[in-house]
Every structure is written in structure tokens, then in C-alpha cells.
Amino acid sequence: MEAWQRIQIGVATSLIVLSIGTGTAFKSKQAKYDADLNKAQVALNQKKRQLSTIQSDNESILLDQKQNSSNQSTSDSVRQVMLNRAINTRAIKVAKALFNYSGSKDYLKRQNKVSVLLSKKATVDPALFPKHDLEQIKGQKIAGDYYSSSITNGLEDSDGNVPVFLKVHYGTYLNDKLIASPTEGFNLTYNTHSGQFTSLKSVGKFAENTEKND
């Protein structure tokens, strides 16, 4: 073998070894970087959860302090905020119970799901749970999807009753295909003494919207 050939082989071997070493070192550094990044992300998520908890606790403390304030207007304002929150939370649960279902069996359970969110003697619009089409629904591949809602409260009367208007946008599906996405309105009554809805009635559907809201 000529001397120049031996030199070329030696250079090539050195380059291969250097390349392998560099690649190994890079992978090692990359692995360490990924591990450090993951550790930092975990720590950041923990801090976010802690901050969220602290903010929630502080907000509750402040609301409680203001609710018990000697200033009547401040106390009434805070009470109204808390009442609105309670109504909104419960109204959204009603909307989801009505319009989130994954099959005919789940659809037929809607009345039970809604009833636990109402008072025992609540008046409910029978049209919400029709009996005549139950046999037709059984076995059908149907589904419902709650999209969004808006809630408006009226003034509380002397008996603690608050009129509530609930507007719900949802989609209905047949054989995995969207067949309708209406917006429907509901009148409810919320009682501040029991913390429950005492009536639920549909007031009809609005013009359809084919786009799903965020």
C-alpha cells in the first residue's frame, strides 16, 4: 500500500471517530437539555397551579369579607356577584345535561340527569322529554353536543325567586353527521333559599348557526 493511501485511510478513520464522538456528545447534551427543559416545565406548571389556588383562595376571602361588610351597598353587590355565579354554574350544568349525549340510551337518560339539578317539585316543560318518539330513537346512532350558552338573570322577588333566561347553542348528530346546530331559549326560576331551579321551560329555537362556538 502506498504511503499516500495509508495517509488517506488514517485521515478518514480519524474523521469517522471524530464524527461518532461529536454525535455522541451532541446526543448527550441534547438529552440533558431535554431533561432540564422538562424539569423546568414541571416546576412552572406547579407554580401556576399554586398561583391559581392562591388567587382563588384570596378571591373567596375578599368576597367573604365584603359580603360581611357593614357597608350595605358593598355587601349587596358582592351577594349579587355570588348569586350570579351560582346560577350560571347550575344553568350550564342543566344545558349540558340536556344536550350532551352519545347514543339513544344516553339520550333517554337526559330527564334523570336534569332532574337532579332541579328541586323535587320543579315544574318541567314536558316537551323537553317527548314520549312519542322513544321507540323510534332506540337503536339509532344519535348524539348531541353542547357548544355554548349565555345566561341572564332578573330581579329576585320577596320569596327568593329569580327569573333566569338561558340561551343554549348545541349540535345534533345522526350517523356521525351534524344535522342541526340550533340555538334554543329556556325560562328557568332559581330559588335563593333552596339553591335550586324550581321551573324549566323551553321558549323555542332561534335561527340556526352552522358554526360551532369556542
Residues 90/92/97/99 CA torsion (nearest 10 deg):
160
Residue 102 has pLDDT above 80, yes or no: yes
As a whole number, mean pLDDT of residues 64-93 equals 75
Cell of 138: 332506540
For 46-66, the pLDDT digits (tens) are 655 665 555 555 555 555 555
pLDDT mean across residues, the chain: 78
Please name each of the domains of the chain with its CATH number. Answer: 35-66+73-206 (3.10.450)
pLDDT band at 105; cut points 50, 70, 90: confident
DSSP result, 190-203:
EETTTTEEEEEEEE
Closest CA to 188 of 202, 177, 175: 202
Residue 68 has pLDDT above 90, yes or no: no
Q: What are phi and psi of 6, to 5 degrees?
A: -65, -40
For 126-179, the pLDDT digits (tens) are 889 887 666 676 667 899 999 999 999 999 999 999 999 999 999 999 988 999
CA angle 79, 186, 136 (to 5 degrees): 140
Cβ contacts of 25 within 8 Å, gap of 6 or more:
none
Cell of 68: 360581611
Report whether 183 contacts 168 (CB < 8 A). yes
Cell of 70: 357593614
pTM for the full predicted model: 0.62
Residue in the structure block whose three cell numbers are 329555537: 205
Helices (H) and strands (E) in the chain, counts: 5, 7
DSSP result, 162-192:
EEEEEEEEEEEEETTEEEE--EEEEEEEEET
Give the residue, 63 or 114, on which the prediction is more confident. 114
